[in-house]
Structure 1
Amino acid sequence: MGSRGAAANEAIEGLRELAGGGLEAAEVFRRADELLRGVLEFDAVCWHTADPATGLVNSVLSDDLSLDRFQDAVRLEVWVDDVATFPKIRRAGVRAETLSRVTRGRPESSARFREQIDPAGFGDELRTVFDAHGGMWGCAAFMRARDRGPYLGRQRQLADTAARHLGHALRACHLPQVGEASEGSSEGPAVLVLGSANQPLAVSGPAEELLARLADPSPSALSVPTAFAIAAEQARRAACGLAASEAKIRVQTREGRWFVLHAAPLEGSAGGEVTVVASPASPSDAMPLYLSAYGLTGREQEVALLLVRGCDTRDIARLLAMTPYTVQDHLKSVFAKAGVASRRELVARIMLAGGP
């Protein structure tokens, strides 16, 4: 038990260090794999980044799994009201859950288990969500072979702690990168028409280049990046009159540029075609993401947003019903977290990273 506890502590300490490493998301995931595989005792893992505002998955990475049925996985996530989905785990106020626990030892009651996990030879699944400062920055599914038995309670608790540190590490991956992220900021929207299997039927000129910039770290059966497929399926679900997340997903390019994907069924089409428009994120879309990436509290984000919009200390105090001294305290914290010394520097950093 002592060696087990020491290994778990070592893994958590390694994950804590990832938040300050200046890594990309794929590097965070691969380093987390090295730290967690031995203590969680999983045999395969599928990692995802997510739109921090909605929690919708927008990329996929797996070095273990064949993703030739990833289209089916997307369909299950969007259309099937299964147990222990990423949104349900998050709404439950936890960061980790196992299929064996939530089904009380009857994983076959899960559509995901019947259609994907069991046919692939796995016996249990542990899912985690990577939340930090009000945003969901990613999530993961850890599978283990049948002969290992179900995940233990201590492993679920360890995964919950690990997920908190991974949330901070992924948040740090999305910090504004002034200069690099502004590249291409004047480009117009890209438009795709996707068929019923989310295959491109028509692509505008800028879309081809954008698809390459948003490509998933791991190749899959999808012929478009994950974010486009998720947006399209959400739009189809809404068109059927079913409850759905908004058919809008935020996704960041490797250069640090945020794009917003809007999806809607193609008017007059009976074949399930969907139009997806990808536009550079406007300041109103990008600013909350940048402020959350800095690790600002909800109140600090409110103060910073008003500041960026041109309000002075007195205006902010009046609008947020606080004293000017309290506003100044919040501003000091905002500047420290953002690594700037003045209002002008904060505005410049956010606006230069976000583009016009």
Structure 2
Amino acid sequence: MSTGESASGVAAIGAASEVGSAMELGTVISRWIGQVIPHEGYMLAAVDPVTGAGCFLAREHGYSPAAARRLTRIRPDGDHPVPFEQLVKGPCRVGVLNTDAPGQRRNAAMRAVMADQGVGSELRIALVEAGTTWGGLVLLRPRGARPFSVAEAARAQRLGRDVVAAMRRYATGAPPEPSRLDRPPGVLVVGADETIVAATPSVRAWIGELETLPAPALAAPHIPMESTIWNLTQAARHPDTPALTRIPTRHGWIVLRAQPMTGEEKSAVAVTIQPATGTELLPAMALWHGLTPRERAVIDRVLEGQATKQIARRLGMSPHTVNDHFKSIYRKIGVCAREELIARFLG
């Protein structure tokens, strides 16, 4: 990585801790990467690092929500050019799709979506770091523009680590605790036609917390299908796919979970949105904040009410080592004492 790329990456990571929404984060990352890989549009999607379900999303001049859903339905096998599932496994995390490249094996459904959206070239990056998948970044150029090159794909591969660092800086900038909003949980039902057919009064306010839809859309007579919710309903329709995600917001973390309805409405999916409990939050927080397995084990024992000497015996370490772990945990989570740590996760 060049000195200029490295310096820009450090600046972007620092700026990520100051932004107030996923859209602002996307703008920061797009402008930084645009200095070395010019692009017209982008889509930045983060996933819950535990379940792999969608966590937060930012886009500008990217695929429309409807087009993105069409792309999601394209099977990651057969002649799919560069599915994210393949990129995640590595070693190359970057794929380029140029619609007009002669002889390139590419999926007809993918080409149709790109043509409908006026896209001529797509560069996609699987964001994987330290064995954990954090999401994906898609850069777009319109038809008629210069396609993404092999050299630009190599630059994108080098920049992936800093993109993950910026995403983690943003997520850990949210209050490391369950959402403090005092409102009833939101419950909505998504029908077989993928529209919201029923919802509780609090749903619009909870969707507003995701900050992915403009105010006019939220004020429309019919509640629009938000992308994170749509992705979660798709996961709920596959028994082996976790349909739960924890999302950072300005007021703390919330949890979305989806499950299929039973009885006459078995083709529908119910989604609940509410503050994450401490026990729900801890597994994801451990990864976002970079806690080690030993630090996570210490927290688990603390939440069980064990004293330092008990933790030391249970984990086979000295009390001094346990205290060292406490210091590291406090620094990473942003608390000052055991009592504050417990309050964050147990309330």
Query: Shorter-normalised TM-score: what interval?
Result: 0.7 to 0.9
Residue pairs, 1:133-212, within 5 angstroms: 136-175=133-172, 176-177=174-175, 181-184=179-182, 187-212=183-208
Q: 1:334 corresponds to which letter in structure 2?
A: I
Q: Tell me what 1:284 maps to.
A: 279
Q: Tell me what 1:250 maps to.
A: 246
2:45 is equivalent to residue 48 of structure 1: yes
Q: Tell me what 1:241 maps to.
A: none
Q: 2:179 corresponds to which letter in structure 1?
A: A
Alignment check: 8 A CA contact 2:45 2:54 kept: yes
TM-score, normalised relative to structure 1: 0.79
Deviations 1:148-201 (A, max 9, x none): 5543344223223322222222222223527993222xx443221112232111
Alignment check: 8 A CA contact 1:58 1:226 kept: no
Q: Secondary structure at the match of 2:59?
A: coil
Q: Tell me what 2:263 maps to.
A: 267
- Aligned equivalents of 1:83, 1:303: Cα separation in 2: 45
Q: CA deviation at 1:10?
A: 4.4
TM-score, normalised relative to structure 2: 0.81
- Aligned equivalents of 1:57, 1:83: Cα separation in 2: 22
Q: CA deviation at 1:290?
A: 2.8
- Aligned equivalents of 2:131, 2:340: Cα separation in 1: 24
2:29 is equivalent to residue 28 of structure 1: no
- Aligned equivalents of 1:248, 1:59: Cα separation in 2: 13
RMSD of aligned residue pairs (Cα, Å): 3.4
- Aligned equivalents of 2:102, 2:94: Cα separation in 1: 13
Q: Tell me what 1:232 maps to.
A: 233
Worse overlay, 217-226 or 320-329: 217-226
- Aligned equivalents of 2:223, 2:106: Cα separation in 1: 27
Aligned with residue 340 of structure 1, among 326, 335, 341: 335
Deviations 1:97-153 (A, max 9, x none): 11349xx97555235632322433333322224456665444221122455554334
- Aligned equivalents of 1:123, 1:116: Cα separation in 2: 11
- Aligned equivalents of 1:233, 1:152: Cα separation in 2: 34
Q: CA deviation at 1:322?
A: 3.9
- Aligned equivalents of 1:107, 1:61: Cα separation in 2: 29
| CA distance 1:20–1:300, change in 2 (3 Å) | same
2:186 is equivalent to residue 213 of structure 1: no
Alignment check: 8 A CA contact 2:196 2:223 kept: no
Structure 1 regions of 5+ residues with no counterpart? 239-243
Structure 2 regions of 5+ residues with no counterpart? none
Deviations 1:36-85 (A, max 9, x none): 12311222211223223223224443221361xx2342253256224533
Alignment check: 8 A CA contact 2:49 2:134 kept: yes
- Aligned equivalents of 2:134, 2:223: Cα separation in 1: 22
| CA distance 1:20–1:202, change in 2 (3 Å) | closer
| CA distance 1:71–1:263, change in 2 (3 Å) | farther
- Aligned equivalents of 1:29, 1:178: Cα separation in 2: 21
2:288 is equivalent to residue 293 of structure 1: yes
- Aligned equivalents of 1:178, 1:119: Cα separation in 2: 41
| CA distance 1:30–1:214, change in 2 (3 Å) | same
- Aligned equivalents of 1:47, 1:87: Cα separation in 2: 16
Q: 1:86 corresponds to which letter in structure 2?
A: F
Alignment check: 8 A CA contact 2:121 2:141 kept: yes
Give the fraction of aligned pairs with identical amino acids, expressed as a percent: 23
Deviations 1:6-50 (A, max 9, x none): 653443233233354355332221011112123112222112232
Q: CA deviation at 1:349?
A: 3.8
| CA distance 1:41–1:246, change in 2 (3 Å) | same
Residue pairs, 1:6-21, within 5 angstroms: 7-21=4-18
2:160 is equivalent to residue 126 of structure 1: no
Q: Secondary structure at the match of 1:275?
A: strand
| CA distance 1:318–1:74, change in 2 (3 Å) | farther
| CA distance 1:335–1:196, change in 2 (3 Å) | same
Aligned with residue 99 of structure 1, among 96, 121, 140: 96
Alignment check: 8 A CA contact 2:81 2:105 kept: no
Worse overlay, 34-43 or 138-147: 138-147
Alignment check: 8 A CA contact 2:256 2:271 kept: no
Alignment check: 8 A CA contact 1:45 1:140 kept: yes
- Aligned equivalents of 2:56, 2:90: Cα separation in 1: 24
Count of residue pairs brought into register by the alignment: 336
Q: CA deviation at 1:5?
A: 4.8
